[in-house]
Amino acid sequence: MQHFNFSAGPAMLPADVMQQAQAEFLNWQNLGSSVMEISHRSKPFIEVAAQAEQDLRDLLAIPDNYKVLFLQGGGRGQFASVPLNIAQPTDLSLHLQSGSWSKGAVEEAAKYTRTHVVTQDAVNAAGQRYVPDQTQWTLTDEQRQQAAYLHYCPNETVDGIAIFEPPKCDKIPVVADMSSTILSGPLNVSDYGVIYASAQKNIGPSGLAVVIVRDDLLNQAQSITPSFLNYTLAANNDSMYNTPPTYSWYLSGLVFKWLKAQGGLSAISQRNEAKAALLYQTVDNNDFYHNNVALAHRSIMNVPFTLADPALDKEFLMLAEANGLAALKGHRSVGGMRASIYNAMPIEGVQALTEFMQEFARTKG
Ligand SMILES: *Cc1c(COP(=O)(O)O)cnc(C)c1O
């Protein structure tokens, strides 16, 4: 029986990547050691690090005026790092709040700067969750002038709510938490001041945060910023001011190579669209299943859905597991189910899931 892992994060990695990592686990590049057992300042590791950065730059077409940082501390680390690095305590950070992660980002930013939420996710007349557009924001001229940045989360991992167009507001730098959507398709990096992502959804193992920062935003960190969170120090030290998560960096590098071999981000994006379309069709075409996100905001990466009778949730999960479909339980704050279908999930996994869903609805619904 095939096994498919729909975990939201840490999530599955491409099988090819895992096999390569396994093959060179004990003896990497004939050094007689694992890549995780050598100095981050050794020549072979510096080559791994530089190659990973170059491959990421190629995949996302990152312009030269952006630094790429490989840091510790995951996504939540950046909730603190962003305000510390690019806002002063008296500045204002603007926030588009579209679900639980972007809400967490506001709460953390409020410790280091002033915050203002321009809009929040809401429920429309049809009972669907959506994010009000810019015409509905509350934002005064004074707030615009005081704003150091505008933060949003293009893909809310828990809620399955996506924002597909980056917000544009004067020249205010846009900061995007792309933890669960980076590398799922092409991106115009120039639309952003800072892009950050924890690795464990769509990049590699946990422990790593990738930060892409426009260089005019450096050199303005608050004086209290812990040195290891300081973007400028990190940039000036090739992300080796302190020891980086070397194994995560190496493995992420393998994932970047894998993405290139798949045909790059346009090709990956088409596959992701096809996977999501198949899953949403199955949900929409069967009264037994329901997704409560408005069409324009449905995530391509995380698909939450509920069963008509929540009393069947346990049985659904048990039978799914028995059929090789793992980790479909929804987040505790939302309930129901959630299928996370990041880059590494093959279309066969979504086909197996949708067949199982149809059979379950037919026999139990
Ligand atoms: C997972 C996630 C985070 C948190 O990442 P950690 O590495 O656990 O701190 C933040 N934002 C989004 C959108 C996420 O999906």
SS3 sequence, the chain? CCCEECCCCCCCCCHHHHHHHHHCCCCHHHCCCCHHHCCCCCHHHHHHHHHHHHHHHHHHCCCCCEEEEEECCHHHHHHHHHHHHHCCCCCEEEEEECCHHHHHHHHHHCCCCEEEEEEECEECCCCCEECCCHHHCCCCHHHHHHEEEEEECCEECCCCEECCCCCCCCCCCEEEECCCCCCCCCCCHHHCCEEEEECCCCCCCCCCEEEEEEHHHCCCCCCCCCHHHCHHHHHHCCCCCCCCCHHHHHHHHHHHHHHHHCCHHHHHHHHHHHHHHHHHHHHHCCCCEECCECHHHECCCEEEEEECCHHHHHHHHHHHHHCCEECCECCCCCCCEEEECCCCCCHHHHHHHHHHHHHHHHHHC
For tokens 């020249």, what's the residue? 171
pLDDT in tens, 55-87: 999 999 999 999 999 999 999 999 999 999 999
Residue nearest to atom 12 of ligand 1 (CA): 179
For tokens 């894998």, what's the residue? 258
Tell me the backbone φ, ψ of residue 80, rounded to 5 degrees: -90, -40
Q: Is the CB of 157 under 6 A from ligand 1?
A: yes
Q: Are 92 and 114 in contact (CB under 8 A)?
A: yes
pLDDT in the model for residue 333 = 87
pLDDT in the model for residue 64 = 98
pLDDT in tens, 163-215: 999 999 999 999 999 999 999 999 999 999 999 999 999 999 999 999 999 99
**What domains can you pick out in the chain, each with its CATH number?**
16-261 (3.40.640.10), 263-364 (3.90.1150.10)
CA of residue 76 to ligand 1 center, whole Å? 6
pLDDT in the model for residue 101 = 98
Ligand 1 atom at minimum distance from 206 CA = 7
Q: Is the CB of 338 under 6 A from ligand 1?
A: no
- Cβ-proximal residues to 101 (8 Å cutoff; 6+ apart), any chain: 75, 153, 156, 157, 158, 177, 179
For tokens 């544009």, what's the residue? 168
Separation between Cα atoms, residue 306 and residue 198, nearest integer Å = 27
Ligand 1, from 157, 161, 163, 196: best to mutate by most atoms within 8 Å of Cβ?
A: 157
pLDDT in the model for residue 133 = 95
Exposed (0-12), middle (13-18) or buried (19+): which is 25, by Cβ within 10 Å?
exposed
Q: Is the CB of 86 under 6 A from ligand 1?
A: no
Catalytic machinery residues: 101, 177, 201
CA of residue 78 to ligand 1 center, whole Å? 9
Q: Is the CB of 198 under 6 A from ligand 1?
A: yes
Instruction: Tell me which residues of the chain have a pLDDT lower than 70.
Output: none
CA of residue 75 to ligand 1 center, whole Å? 4
CA of residue 223 to ligand 1 center, whole Å? 26
